[in-house]
Each structure stands twice: as C-alpha cells, then as structure tokens.
A and B are shown apart, each in its own frame.
Chain A
Amino acid sequence: MKRSLFGRLWPNVTAVVLFIGFVFPVYWMFATAFKPTGDIISEDPVWFPTDATFEHFKTATDADNFWTFVTNSLVVTVLAVVFSLLIALAGAFALARMRFKGRRGFIVGFMMAQMAPWEVMVIAIYMIVRDASMLNSLVPLTLFYTMMILPFTILTLRGFVAAVPRELEESAMVDGCTRGQAFRKVIFPLLAPGLMATSMFGFITAWNELPLVLVVNKEAEAQTLPLWLTSFQSVFGNDWGATMAASSLFAIPILILFVFLQRKAVSGLTAGAVKG
C-alpha cells in the first residue's frame, strides 16, 4: 500500500514536534543550569548556551547542608531498596513457585498495598513517629520507604522468578541440591537482571518521596533532597540558574538509571540457560 507524500510526511512532522515538546523542559533545565546569569535574565531567551559555566552548580552544592541531604537521601533510599528486596525475594519465591491456600489472596493483598494512598496517610504516620519519639530521624523514613516499594518489588520479582524455567531448579535438585541450594545456585544468578530492574524502580520511588519527609523531619539534619529542592526557591529567591542546577543534580541519577532500565530489565533473562 503506497501512501501519498502527505500521508508519509505528517506522522514524521508530528513526531518531531512532539519530541521537542517532551524534551524541551528537560533540555531547558540543563541549559539554564549551565548558562551564565546574564543569559538567564535576558529579555530574549538564549536558546543555546554558548559559554558554559559551573558557577550555578557551585552555588547549589555550596548551599547549607547540601551534602547532608545527599547523604541522607542516599542512605534512606539504598537501605529501603535493600530491605525491600530481601523481604520481597522470600515472598516472591513463595508466590511464584508454591501452591498453597490463600495464594491468590496474598497477591490481591499486595496489589491493594501497591496502590496505598501514602500521600494522605502522613498525618497518621506523623503521630506514630512522634509517639515513638522518632521525629527528625532517618529510621522511620527508611522503614516507611521500604514499605512503599515492597508491594511493587514482590509483585515484579514474582514475575521474574516465574520466568526462570522450573526444569533448571528441578535438575539441580535431581543433581542433589536441596531446595535452598537450588535457589541460591541456580535461580538467584538468573534473577540478577530482574533484581536490578526492580531495585531501580524502588530507588526512583524512594529518591522522589516528598510528603512524608515534609511532615516528619523538620530539622535540616534529617531532611532529604526532594524537600531541599522544594524549599530551594525560598532560600535562593529567583536565582533560576542555581535552582535549575539543583534540579539537574537531583534528576541526573534518576535519568541515568531510567535509561539503563528501559528494556534491559526484561531482555536476556534466561537466554541459553537450558541449551547448554
């Protein structure tokens, strides 16, 4: 079926317009972050920065407590991801590989939990954390972030465990492995890409979390980057260069993770494992 010139042209033109629309905000963030202040506050926008400067990044990283926030964010996020992976791996194995009463119920339960309205539960969590005298601490944040990403981690890992052929496990058991050994030696290595992908999604969720830290941690020593970023403007006024540099610093780890995560997550899971 041959299409007219117009018929071939409009999808491509639309695609280009859409591409610009989706990329522009991201581009503008980086462009502003690297522009000298004179180019930022100019009557006509400077579309392509010619002389890049790191001055705004310096302002952002020199801000009070910046490195505390970075450390807090990393500690809380990494711990939450590790904890939820450990807890989820056990549960995902049971859900993917075993038949038992109430299995479906557990799955539906975790699906419900995945949609939990954390944004509106902050008042209750505040009270719980306060009654435990744990305000302004990283411990409750870590625990609740673990829980926020746990249901997703279980459900996703369940899929990855199920994708490992049962024969592999069985042949390992025929060869004399116990079930535990079969899991450790056969399934676990094959799960690695799945674990990576799942943990990256968990990382993104925890790294982004704002409502909870906003309520429970009022003191700077226990705050994280998202909170810092939302209050950045009140501290730096209309210094958009520094604000965009701060946004860039916050976004870069996620953008990199996400690009890796796309596709890699699912591909090459068990390719060739049975052949040999």
Chain B
Amino acid sequence: MTVQTERPPSGPVDVHKPDDREPRRPPQRGGALAPYLLLLPACVATVLLLGWPLLKDVLLSFQNLNMAQLIQHVTEWNGIDNYKETLTGGDFWRVTLRSILFTAVNVVLIMIFGALIGLLLARLGKRMRVTLMIGLVLAWAMPVVAATTVYQWLFAQRFGVVNWVLDKLGWHSMADYSWTSSQMSTFFVVTVLIVWMSIPFVALNLYAATTTIPDELYEAAALDGAGAWRSFTTVTFPFLRPFLYATTFLEIIWVFKAFVQVYAFNGGGPDRLTEILPVYAYIEGVGNQHYGRGAAIAVLTILILLALTAYYLRIVLKQEEDEL
C-alpha cells in the first residue's frame, strides 16, 4: 500500500496554483454519459463486493446467530442485544483501550524513528544513502506473513538469536525465555515487527519530500543568520508538516487493523490477552461461533475506523484540492 504521492519529483508541493486547471471544453464526443458508463463496472463491483458485505455486517449484528442457527440456516432477529451485550460487558472496553494504546505506541515509534531515519537519509553521502535505502526497501518488501514467521524464529525460545544475544549481553534469565508466554512480551515482539516493517515507508517518503524543498529557502534562511537548528524549524519542518500529518493518520489506520501480525504471531494469546479489536471480532465471531456478536464488534470497529478515515481524507483532500 502506498499513499498517493505522485507529485512531480521536482518543485515545491504547495505552490500549485489552480490556474493550470484546464479550461472548460465544449461537450465531448461520446456524450455526457460516457464517464458514467466508464465508471459503471468499478461502481458495480464496489457496491456488490464492498457495500454488500458492509450492509450484511450491520444486518448480522442485529441477529442471534450462533452454531445452531448457522447450521439450520435460520434468521433470528434479536434487536440490539448484541450491542447491549458487547457494550455492557467489560471485555469490549478492555480490548478497545488495549487497541488504542497498542496503536498509539506503535505509531509514535514509527513516526519518530521513521522521520529521524528520513532526515538521516537526506544527510548521508550518496553511497551510504543508497545502501541504507536498499536495507529499508528489503524490510518494506517482506510479505507480512513471512515477516511474522521470521520474527517467531528470531524470538524463538530455543535457538532464537534474540535470546542468545540477550544471554551473551549478561541478561542470563533470558536464555530460554518464551516471548509468547506473557501479554507484554508478545506485544513487545509484535511492536518491534510492526515498527520494523512500517518505518521504511515513512522514512523513504519523508526523504523524498525533503528533496523537494527548494534550496533557495535554505539560502534565504542562512542569509538571515539561521543556524542548522533554526533552519530546520523554520524551513524543513513547516515544509514537511502536511506530509507528516497525513502519514501519521495513515499509520494509525494501518496499525489499528493489524490483524495478521497479531493473529499470526500468537493468535491473540496468551489467554486472549493480546487481542486487538479486529482479532477480538474474529475470535468471538468465527472462533467462538457467536457470529452475531462478532458482527456487532466488527461494526463498532468499522465505525472507529470510519471516523479515522474521514479525518485522514479531510487532511489529504485539503492538500490535494488543486489536483482534484
């Protein structure tokens, strides 16, 4: 996944003025219906394959649908029972709080280290920069499932490299430590994994953004007597702010629904203590076969994500006003 960052590689970002908008043209051949016909297949697909499941999810969340009803193909409406049960039970709120904390920690780490590495790339010499970029691209390219499996091996209890290193560094109690045995250690590994695989996107894009800052701005700042720190706060940072803003939200959304890493690493265990909302919905719904309740949790999760997405799009649309 990428953000839409297809601006021309040169030239400042915000200087786009709407005057390069095309003039109104006379009605084109093919008639006024042409664009709608061209968009029709995409819209049909979206309604059937995205809209319908979303609606179905809402419908399911008002049904009493467990193993028995599933096998007998019966529809039992039960009003808002699923929501009542979910919202009044302690589990949902615990998982929600956990999801928020988990997302916050990950996103803060990703953004801080991603930004620092992006700035470091801008400062390195060419050869070193290309080397580090290759490393970042490799980590970025690793498929999630493969990366999770590799991290299971790195953090394996027996013969895992991490335990060996910790032991050699003098932390001997870690020699045969089982990282999947506790909530915090599981979250620790999952966080390292997510941060590791998310940083390259932020760092490389941030570096690309720094290359679009016009040199004149730095020269002007230098003429005004600004030092390195001051030209950073008055030129670099304001220039990168819109980009950082958009990326932060993108990362929030991605980490919030990080199903695969959490599920594949430890299945939400031990004792369901590392379930975040998407995993919780899956385990309640499919795992424990309370499909209706799972759907209700899913709807609540979707609502949270929808709010985040709407906010993200507002940021992006404001920036790309001219492009639309």
**Interfacial residues, chain A to chain B (CB-CB below 8 A):** 11-12, 14-16, 18-23, 25-26, 28-29, 32, 40-42, 44-45, 86-88, 90-91, 93-95, 98-100, 103-104, 106-113, 115-117, 119-128, 143-144, 146-147, 150-152, 154-156, 159, 163, 166, 178-179, 201, 204-205, 207-208, 210-211, 215, 226, 229-230, 232-233, 238, 240, 243-244, 246-248, 250-251, 254-255, 257-259, 262, 266
Contacts and interface: CB of A to CB of B under 8 A. Distances in A.
B38 A11 contact: no
Given A146-B49, A232-B149, A18 B132 contact: yes
Interface of B is mostly: helix
Given A99-B24, A124-B60, 14 more contacts: A18-B117, A25-B147, A28-B150, A110-B46, A111-B313, A112-B313, A113-B50, A127-B291, A147-B46, A201-B1, A208-B145, A211-B259, A232-B149, A254-B143
A254 B108 CA distance: 28
A41 B45 CA distance: 50
Interface in B122-170: 123-125, 128-129, 131-132, 134-154, 156, 158-159, 161, 164
B313 A247 contact: no
A119 B143 contact: no
A122 to B, nearest CB: 7
Interface of B: 1-2, 4, 6, 9, 22, 24-25, 28-30, 32, 34-36, 38-39, 41-43, 45-46, 49-50, 52-54, 56-57, 60, 117, 120, 123-125, 128-129, 131-132, 134-154, 156, 158-159, 161, 164, 196, 199-200, 253, 257, 259-260, 263-264, 277-278, 281-282, 285-286, 291, 294-295, 297-298, 301-302, 305, 309, 312-313, 316-317, 324
Contacts of A205: 1
Contacts of A207: 143
Contacts of B117: 18
A210 B164 CA distance: 31
11 contacts: A19-B132, A44-B164, A103-B35, A116-B50, A119-B282, A121-B298, A123-B294, A124-B54, A179-B30, A208-B144, A258-B141
B145 A230 contact: yes
A124 B57 contact: yes
Contacts of A232: 149
Contact of B153 (A28, A88, A257): A28
Nearest to B49: A147
Contacts of B125: 12
A232 B268 CA distance: 18
Contact of A121 (B57, B137, B263): B57
Given A104-B324, A147-B49, A211 B153 contact: no
Chain A contact residues: over half helix, strand or loop, or mixed? Answer: helix
**A108, A122, A146, A154 pick with most chain B CB within 10 angstroms:** A122
Q: 5 nearest interchain CB pairs?
A: A258-B141, A147-B49, A124-B57, A94-B38, A94-B35
Nearest to B145: A226
A26 B137 CA distance: 11
- The CB with the most chain A CB atoms within 10 A, among B24, B53, B56, B301, is that of B53
A110 B154 CA distance: 39
